[in-house]
Structure 1
Amino acid sequence: MTAFDDPTTRSFARVAGVLYLVIAVAGFFSILYVPGQLTVPGDPASTLAAIAARPGLFALGVGGDVVMMTAEVVLAVMLFAMFRPFGAVLATAALVARLMMAAVMAAMLLPQAAILALATDPSLAGEGQAAWLAATLARMDAAGVWVWQVFFALHLWMLGALALRSRAVPRLLAIGLVVGGAGYLVDSVRAFAFDGSMALSVIGGALLAVVTLSEIGFALWLLTRGRVAASEAPMAGRA
């Protein structure tokens, strides 16, 4: 029997916890580290030049995104298998929401590939045009973040609700997923419609801090103590 055969075992939960760590490491590298090394705020021409000087690092960032999305797909299915006994409809909706998030992230790789092409092939556009196109593509990429955050907020609300029903996940972590998950929605609304709102920035930041700690705690719980059995909840099997 392999670790994937029985979603009620601790070995199954440990694999899910490892996937959370893979997502965290790959996400930090591709979302924070690489852009931090190559992006020059407010200067698309300099950003394009930085990418042209270090195309390998940019490509590694794209590779980190691929690793992260692959882990997201497997983790989404594993969480569905673990928590389905506590609400089939809710677990299915949580699965679809996380897969939609991964799909949006996959679509975001297209503008990134175009930016790399503009940086490494000067024949594609003139100097001014290349910078303008790169800035436009970067805005498309940012819009993708606003979209996937909405799907992730939905996933976290439903995952938190399922975790509460299971009675296996620590209650504080489950509540943190539900409450803090709203931070992703608040951040998307702020970025899309109220970019200058200090109030939304503070509220969103506070909620994101809550959900980040809750997700870290949930991942550690999966790694060290995770085991979810349908018999632990009297409402098991109901949507």
Structure 2
Amino acid sequence: MPPVQRYARVAGVLYLIIIVIGLASEALIRGRLIVDGDPDATAQHILGAQFLWRLGIAGEDVLLICAVGLTALWYVLLRPVDRRLTQLAIAFAFMSLAVESVGALHLHAVLTPLLGGAYLQSADPALLHVLAYQSVVAHAHAFGLALIFFGVECLLIGHLIRRSGFFPATIGVLMQLAGLCYLVNSFSMILSPALQSVLFPFILLPSLVGESTFCLWLLIKGVDVAAWTRRTNAVRSEVTP
């Protein structure tokens, strides 16, 4: 198997891990334990399923590790299309991951007031529940901001895919649609929370379809090695005196 095909397969595996962890964390962990607008019920659920909450935190950390590796592989795979545009996409990707990492810290912080040491024993339990819930809210806002940068990344990655010749142009269109949906969701969260509550989660269905399609293509088909090689050789010939 040519090295670039191995890179494509590894990218597909990392993408699959990211998608599975993301869906499981949202639907099976945070979706089960967080009660919207109710700090006391949320605290009781988390305290009653501490290992599940910790598992979600660990999953988020694994997701971030995989995302860093996937971002590096985007540069390897898409650089022959347009090096500068690929670098711009990578910059947005790392900005998104930096913000998402801050959001992950808020998931860690949820347990601090709920399981605090002696210095918190005299505090009002209701206040501690509110503090924990504030960390939940802070994570949601940080994640929404991260998706703005990720949405721009998807637009750029989709454009590079459409121009590549070694990935189907249709996947590029789907990735750009995914990026647009992420942007609409995040900006509606900022500008009109009422509208965002109506749009979510349906606004993100095209994003799931686009990213899942690209992931499966990487796993099953990979990259058109001959087309990628021709594109790479053409770039090398342009820079060689």
Compute the TM-score of the two structures, normalised by the length of structure 2. 0.87
Measured after TM superposition, the shift of residue 132 of structure 1 is 1.8
Residues 72-102 of structure 1 deviation map (CA, whole Å, 9 limit, x = unaligned): 0000000111101111111111111111111
1:170 maps to 168
Residues 101-156 of structure 1 deviation map (CA, whole Å, 9 limit, x = unaligned): 11111111222222112222375242121122122222211110221010111110
Superposed CA RMSD in Å reads 2.4
Which deviates more, 73-82 or 225-234?
Answer: 225-234
Separation (CA, whole Å) in 2 of partners of 1:22 and 1:13: 14
Aligned positions of 1:7-156 closer than 5 A: 9-121=4-116, 123=118, 124=120, 125-156=123-154
Residues 39-72 of structure 1 deviation map (CA, whole Å, 9 limit, x = unaligned): 1222111111211122111110000000100000
Aligned-partner residue type, residue 19 of structure 1: L
Inter-CA distance 112–67: structure 2 relative to 1 (3 Å threshold): same
Any stretches of 5+ residues in structure 2 without a counterpart? none
Residues 10 and 225 in structure 1, CA contact (< 8 A), matched pair in contact too: no
Which deviates more, 49-58 or 63-72?
Answer: 49-58
Residues 189 and 196 in structure 2, CA contact (< 8 A), matched pair in contact too: no
Measured after TM superposition, the shift of residue 32 of structure 1 is 2.3
Residues 163 and 169 in structure 1, CA contact (< 8 A), matched pair in contact too: yes
Inter-CA distance 211–38: structure 2 relative to 1 (3 Å threshold): closer
Aligned-partner residue type, residue 52 of structure 2: L
Aligned-partner residue type, residue 184 of structure 2: V
Any stretches of 5+ residues in structure 1 without a counterpart? none
The alignment-based identity, stated in percent, is 27
Which deviates more, 49-58 or 150-159?
Answer: 49-58
Inter-CA distance 129–198: structure 2 relative to 1 (3 Å threshold): closer
Aligned-partner residue type, residue 231 of structure 1: R
Compute the TM-score of the two structures, normalised by the length of structure 1. 0.88
Secondary structure of the structure 1 residue equivalent to 2:79: helix
Separation (CA, whole Å) in 1 of partners of 2:207 and 2:44: 36
Secondary structure of the structure 2 residue equivalent to 1:218: helix
Secondary structure of the structure 1 residue equivalent to 2:180: helix
Residues 20-46 of structure 1 deviation map (CA, whole Å, 9 limit, x = unaligned): 111011112222211122112221111
Secondary structure of the structure 2 residue equivalent to 1:85: coil
Secondary structure of the structure 2 residue equivalent to 1:196: helix
